[in-house]
Structure 1
Amino acid sequence: MTRKKSRRLPIVLLVILVLLLLVFLLGIVKNQGGSRLEDLSATDQAILTEYNTLYASLRQEDIWTGYALEDKTILAMPGSWGGGYLINPTQPVSGLFAKEIALPEDWDITIYRVAAVTPGLMAFRFEGSLNTIGKDYALFGSPVYFVKYDEASVTEPWSNLHFACFLSHEAFHYYMQEGWPEGSRFSTEGLTDGDIALLEEEYDILCQVQTQLLSGDPDQAALEEAARAYVAVMDRRLAANPDYVQQELDMETMEGTATYVGIQASRRVGYDFGIMYFSNQKDVPMDQVIPQYQAGNLDKSFLADRMPYETGGLLCLLMDALAIPDWQAALNSQTPEDPVSLYDILKSWTTT
């Protein structure tokens, strides 16, 4: 019996190897066929069309000073275990594992469909949904920013996970903020009732800004008055609870700027996304947050986990509306030893 089993083992291994080779070859052959844009799935076509729209816009004007996303090679992956699309590679691409997609004549990008069996894709399969800050990624010799997507990436309304928004937001963290002070998540344990009262004042002021910007024709004097009122209440908040508020300002600056970038990218591709957008409602007034929290409809953690994205994004839009000079450059030049927050920029503007 032992001898029969030992004879079967090499045969089983041989069969497995043959099957794996067939899968490998079929994967390559399948990737070589259907190489026109219209041959792709509806989701893949939507993703690539949206990126082409964003790319064309970025070539005309960046969405942030020095953030040249259009110069980056993008690897768009429909999930973890399929293939992917390599967009604008900087190095020649292997013809065995990749097939160039035939695109409309008015497109300016180059796209290669990468076979699922491509050995180089294995490095991305267990990496989550996007690049990790501080880590380098490459495929076929081109440094890449990879992002994974699904159908909801182009069909879900009012979502920060929409493809152009998500890509621009997360790539901004990767390419622009590595040298910024860390704006990590923080706990609301140090938030007192007095802090909540001051926070409500802040949200009331920011709601005025929100209302003005949503009007489409904001009153400049009202925005300037609100900016000064915001700085005044933040001064009081810092005096009352400096440790907590500084953590909030750090995260607000990191995530608020990335939210702003995502909003700008969404506008470039015609997707409806903005400040205080939720799955069931958009343009939620900021002055409703504390009353909803006090009514028990929002967890206290919402104030730290979500609101810095919203307040920070709104402050960026406010600085655009106020035409504050070089505010993006001021943030770009900061270091952990010499940090700059959105509040710092507005405070400096109010005193000049």
Structure 2
Amino acid sequence: MKKKPSKALIIISTIIVLLVLTILSNIVLNKVYKTKYEEFDSVDKEMFVQLSSIYKQFNENGEKLWNNKYKLNKEPIILIRTNKDKGIIRKYAYAVNVKGIEKSFLARKINMPKSLNLPEVYRISKFDISLISTWAPSNFGTVDINGKSIFYFKYHPKMIENPELYFDFTSFLLHESFHTYKQKDWTYDKGDGEYIENYPVNKENYALMGLEFKLLDKCMETNNKEEVKKYLKQWTTVRAYRYKKWPQLVVETNTEAIEGTARYIEYKYSDLTGGKLTVLAKKESPYYVTFMQAYDYIANGQAESPSYLERSMKYETGSALGLVMDKIDINWKKGIEDRKDKNGETQYKILKKYFNISDKDITEDKINQIKEENDYNELLKQGQKIVDLVNNNN
């Protein structure tokens, strides 16, 4: 007499059958359901419109975005549709410029309009085990496909329909893909490259930082090349003076190099496409604040914590320095590119060399003259306010 299967075996068998059916049905649906762009929902349609615009700019204006050697439109990308920021639950993924993906039975070529001028796009089933690492709660990363490290990026409805500043699909994708593909051999942020030991919480440091902000604002506001050179040289002198007093602060320039250039790409793209995103952006008109406005907001306790000045602000100063150097035709991009066999130079180092500023040029007389021209005593008062805020928060 045959033994009846146990309840546990029946349950396990049922689960396995259901799982297999779920996987098979998803594979079939991926092959036959909504395989044309016209059938997509509004989120996917708009995502591909924005991707098309990005590729168009890299194809036509690569030199203005970075240089003609960096072509994001030629790089492989996996775009993963999720339900929210850092989403784990996902619908499917699209592969663009991924070699060999067409051979996978888990992939389906999507019919895209010629007007978008995109490379071939394949939709990948959510059950493709080669993408299992992308299920982690992250927004981006890399995944190994056919022996190649490929950038993946997750998008969701809010990113397309009502994004936060800097976290719209285009800006976020441009920033993180630049880190992955262009900066893969850059070493500025390796190890403790951005760590500042014993950050100087005193009014003079913050006042000198405010002085830098005033000078950087002047550079941003004028298109007169001689004026830009004058203010930028003063900025470099003040920065060198601040680092002479507190040498540990020089690692700020590593953040400016690694993050400032990634943000620079965002701003250049926005400018090329008539967008509003610019240095220290905000959502309301005039869509930005100046460095000094941001500094005063922080000092007066009206905006970000003073800790914003230590690292996050370097995204903005780094990108602004790139935009300002563009104004006076400094060929800085080649110099800043860092790799394992060649040390690049930060924006600050490039400017010190450009203006031929050495330690002997950083005199108290020169600094005092710059201070007098820029109401330094008021900056000292604001610097003390920042010190008080830091101490009260600790």
> What TM-score does the superposition give when structure 1 sets the normalisation length?
0.88
* Partner Cα separation in structure 2 for residue 141 and residue 42 of structure 1: 34
Deviations 1:256-278 (A, max 9, x none): 11110122233455543110013
> What TM-score does the superposition give when structure 2 sets the normalisation length?
0.79
* Partner Cα separation in structure 2 for residue 349 and residue 195 of structure 1: 25
Q: Which residue of 2 aligns with 1:86?
A: 95
Higher relative contact order (CA 8 A, sep 6+): 1
Q: How much has 1:59 moved relative to structure 2? A: 1.9
The question of 1:206 aligning with 2:205 is answered no
Q: Is the 8 A contact 2:78 2:93 kept in 1?
A: yes
Q: Which residue of 2 aligns with 1:299?
A: 305
User: Mean Cα displacement is larger for which, 140-149 or 316-325?
Assistant: 140-149
Q: Which residue of 2 aligns with 1:180?
A: 187
Aligned pairs for 1:1-352 (under 5 A) are 7-32=6-31, 33-62=33-62, 63-65=65-67, 66-79=69-82, 80-82=88-90, 83-94=92-103, 96-106=105-115, 107-126=117-136, 128-131=138-141, 137-139=143-145, 143-156=149-162, 159-177=165-183, 178-182=185-189, 183-184=193-194, 186=196, 189-212=199-222, 218-244=223-249, 246-279=250-283, 282-297=287-302, 298-325=304-331, 327-333=332-338, 338-351=343-356
Structure 2 counterpart SS, 1:75: strand
Q: How much has 1:61 moved relative to structure 2? A: 3.2
Deviations 1:291-313 (A, max 9, x none): 22221223111102321001110
Q: Gapped runs of 5+ residues in structure 1?
A: 213-217
Aligned identity (percent) is 23
Which residue identity does 1:179 align to in structure 2?
W
Q: Gapped runs of 5+ residues in structure 2?
A: 83-87, 358-394
Larger radius of gyration: 2
Which residue identity does 1:181 align to in structure 2?
Y
Structure 1 counterpart SS, 2:6: helix
User: Mean Cα displacement is larger for which, 90-99 or 48-57?
Assistant: 90-99
* Partner Cα separation in structure 2 for residue 157 and residue 272 of structure 1: 14
Runs of 4 or more consecutive aligned structure 1 residues displaced over 6 Å after TM superposition: none
* Partner Cα separation in structure 2 for residue 53 and residue 324 of structure 1: 28
Q: How much has 1:329 moved relative to structure 2? A: 0.6
Q: Which residue of 2 aligns with 1:215?
A: none
Q: How much has 1:209 moved relative to structure 2? A: 2.0
* Equivalent residues, number: 338
* Partner Cα separation in structure 1 for residue 300 and residue 56 of structure 2: 46
Deviations 1:96-150 (A, max 9, x none): 3111111112314111111112222212111622126xxxx23466642101111
Change (3 A) 1:78 1:242: same
Change (3 A) 1:351 1:305: closer
Q: Is the 8 A contact 2:140 2:154 kept in 1?
A: yes
Change (3 A) 1:294 1:118: same
**Aligned Cα RMSD in Å?**
2.4
Q: Is the 8 A contact 2:188 2:255 kept in 1?
A: no
Q: How much has 1:81 moved relative to structure 2? A: 2.9
Change (3 A) 1:156 1:208: farther
Q: Is the 8 A contact 2:252 2:311 kept in 1?
A: no
Deviations 1:167-215 (A, max 9, x none): 2211222223233322435478423211011001000111112223xxx
Structure 2 counterpart SS, 1:61: helix
Structure 2 counterpart SS, 1:264: helix
Which residue identity does 1:180 align to in structure 2?
T
Structure 2 counterpart SS, 1:301: helix
Q: Is the 8 A contact 1:188 1:301 kept in 2?
A: no
